């Protein structure tokens, strides 16, 4: 009996250490475009287009009340949008650009959390409007 408790405790402790290692790595993004570790596979324009398409998918999912696993779909789209925003923070050394990308990430994560919590459509649409406004502010400054 005692050996079983020790084994279970050891397994639980090992699991906790593994989870902590994952969490500590999750927030350790590269320092920026100048550190040599970031190698984009898309142009900034391509990335923006992908973000726009995802935002469109989110809007369609919000409208589609009959969509199977609707909340999970919105959450997944929003999480991918947040990850693209992470990439976006590395596409420029300009602080305002990086700030807007970080805002996009934060709003997208909020949208994902609200979708996971089955928030009302009005709340989801408000966050989408905030995301679009953040994008537009950056586009007004940088889009040709």
Higher-pLDDT residue of 144, 47: 47
Give the predicted TM-score (pTM) of the model: 0.73
Whether 111 is covered by a domain: the verdict is yes
Higher-pLDDT residue of 17, 139: 139
Whether 24 is covered by a domain: the verdict is no
Higher-pLDDT residue of 110, 32: 110
Whether 114 is covered by a domain: the verdict is yes
Whether 13 is covered by a domain: the verdict is no
Mean pLDDT (whole number) for 93-104: 95
Whether 10 is covered by a domain: the verdict is no
Whether 32 is covered by a domain: the verdict is no
**% residues pLDDT > 90 (the chain):** 61
**Which residue range is the domain that position 113 belongs to?**
42-142
pLDDT digits (tens, 9 = 90+) for 19-76: 333 333 444 444 455 566 777 788 888 999 999 999 999 999 999 999 999 999 999 9
Cβ(62)–Cβ(74) below 8 Å? yes
Query: How many structural domains are present in the chain?
Result: 1
Q: How far is CA 33 from CA 12, 61, 84, 126, 133, in A?
A: 39, 34, 15, 32, 25
Whether 61 is covered by a domain: the verdict is yes
Q: Which two tokens stand for residue 14?
A: 């090992």
Q: Residue 127: give its domain's CATH number.
A: 1.20.120.10
How many whole angstroms separate alpha carbon 118 and alpha carbon 112? Answer: 10
Whether 136 is covered by a domain: the verdict is yes
Q: How many CB atoms lie within 10 A of CB 27?
A: 6
pLDDT digits (tens, 9 = 90+) for 69-84: 999 999 999 999 999 9
Higher-pLDDT residue of 103, 43: 103
Q: What is the 3-state secondary structure (H, E, C) of the chain?
A: CHHHHHHHHHHHHHHHHHHHHHHHHHCCCCCCHHHCCCCCCCCHHHHHHHHHHHHHHHHHHHHCCCCCCHHHHHHHHHHHHHHHHHHHHCCCCCHHHHHHHHHHHHHHHHHHHHHHCCCCHHHHHHHHHHHHHHHHHHHHHHCC
Per-residue pLDDT at 8 exceeds 50 = no
């Amino acid at each position: 009996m005692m050996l079983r408790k020790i084994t279970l405790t050891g397994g639980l402790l090992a699991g906790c250490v593994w989870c902590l290692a994952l969490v500590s790595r999750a927030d350790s993004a590269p320092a920026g475009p100048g550190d040599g570790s970031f190698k984009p596979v898309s142009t900034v324009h391509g990335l923006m287009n992908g973000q726009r398409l995802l935002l469109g998918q989110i809007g369609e999912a919000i409208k589609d009340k009959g969509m199977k696993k609707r909340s999970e779909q919105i959450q997944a789209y929003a999480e991918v949008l947040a990850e693209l925003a992470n990439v976006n923070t590395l596409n420029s050394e300009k602080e305002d650009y990086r700030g807007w990308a970080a805002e996009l990430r934060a709003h997208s994560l909020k949208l994902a959390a609200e979708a996971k919590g089955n928030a009302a459509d009005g709340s989801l649409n408000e966050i989408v409007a905030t995301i679009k406004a953040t994008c537009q502010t950056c586009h007004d400054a940088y889009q040709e």
